[in-house]
Amino acid sequence: MSDDTQQPIVVKKIKKGGGGAHGGAWKIAYADFVTAMMAFFLLMWLLGSTAQGDLQGIAEFFNSPLKVAMSGGSGAGDATSPMAGGGQDLTRSVGQVKRGDVEGKRSLNLEAAKGAVRASGDEGGQDVEKKREERKERARLEDVKGQIEAIIEASPSLRPFKSQLLLDITTEGLRIQIVDEQNRPMFESSSASLRPYTQELLRSIGATLNGVDNTISLSGHTDSTRYAGGERGFSNWELSANRANASRRELVTGGLAEGRIVRVVGLADTLPLDPANPTAPLNRRISIIVLNKQAEAALRSGGNKKLDVSSEEGVDVGDIRAGLGASSRPAPRPLPKESAPE
């Protein structure tokens, strides 16, 4: 019989839910996601702060890890790396360094650098000054050229000889050439005796040249016609030298100071004005060069300065012949060997 005083025992089972909004499984998944993102951003940072050489070494390591591990090499890291074949030492800041390279401190000698800059500036200044002086001198020579042309044009007695006077600017200075014409030679035949009109022309040139400070060089030239005795006796060498010296005397008579002339030479037929026609009259000429400072310095220093250099503007022999009226006359015939040159 049961005791009415005893209470029944009730057991309540509370079932806790395994899902729903208040579950804890999502926290584990979120933690995994955060860890993966952190690893991803760490990888991006490492790649962004790695030099191009390191990236290439890492790529080569993964392409051929066994080769790199066995031999090392510059592609996958220096052989002195902490890990053989494992790439470059990460303690280095930039690039890969070959074995044996030593990074030293560079020192800059400021005084030496300043001295080099000053020397460069001085050289540049000297070049500018030199070019300025050359331009001034060229302008003076051009002015002298114009004066001589004006004198010839203004003189009724000298104007007919205008075509026989060639003036141009060369690398040595102002070159004045007085050339022969077939029917109007400067000298007596086979002689150093000047014709009267040649004397007047040279004296006018001498008076004009005395107004400039430049020194003068004279050279005489002949055609290729030989003397009967050949080179053993009196030849074109002596004739050209005598004619150059006779021209010097007329320049001095005209007013040119004697100390201004630094060279008088005879060049025979070695420098023809018309090489295609060595016996042409225009090859017989007197060349007067008003030397520029550079040519004068080379001449006084004993330099082997060649006379009668080519004109900067060029000399057209055809134009010279046209000016002399050669087209209207027959070409001169070479003299026989027994005859003396003009």
pLDDT in tens, 48-60: 887 777 777 777 7
Most confident of 72-76, 100-104, 291-295, 336-340: 291-295
Confidence of residue 67 (pLDDT cuts 50, 70, 90): low
User: Taking residues 116-137, what's their average pLDDT?
Assistant: 75
Rounded to whole angstroms, how far apart are CA atoms 65 and 134? 71
Q: What does the pLDDT look like over 274-290, one tens digit per residue?
A: 999 999 988 999 999 99
Give DSSP secondary structure letters for 185-204: -SB-TTS-PBPHHHHHHHHH
Is the CATH code 3.30.1330.60 the one for domain 136-328?
Answer: yes
Position 107 scores a pLDDT of 55
The mean predicted confidence, pLDDT, of the chain is 76
> Residue 331 has what pLDDT?
37
**Dist CA 259 CA 168 (whole Å):** 24
pLDDT in tens, 237-276: 999 999 999 999 999 999 999 889 999 999 999 999 999 9
Break the chain into its structural domains and give their ranges: 43-94, 136-328
The long-range contacts involving 102-106, CB below 8 angstroms and separated by at least 24 positions, are: none
CB 295 within 8 A of CB 305: yes
Averaged pLDDT, 108-116: 66
pTM beyond cutoff 0.85? no
Per residue in 14-26, pLDDT (tens digit) is: 666 555 555 678 8
* pLDDT of 81 above 50: no
| Joined tokens for residue 61 | 């390591």
CB 324 within 8 A of CB 163: yes
Question: What count of Cα atoms within 13 Å lies in the side-chain half-sphere of residue 126?
Answer: 6
Residue-level pLDDT at 173: 92
- Residue 106's pLDDT band (cuts 50, 70, 90): low
Tokens 């020192």 correspond to 107
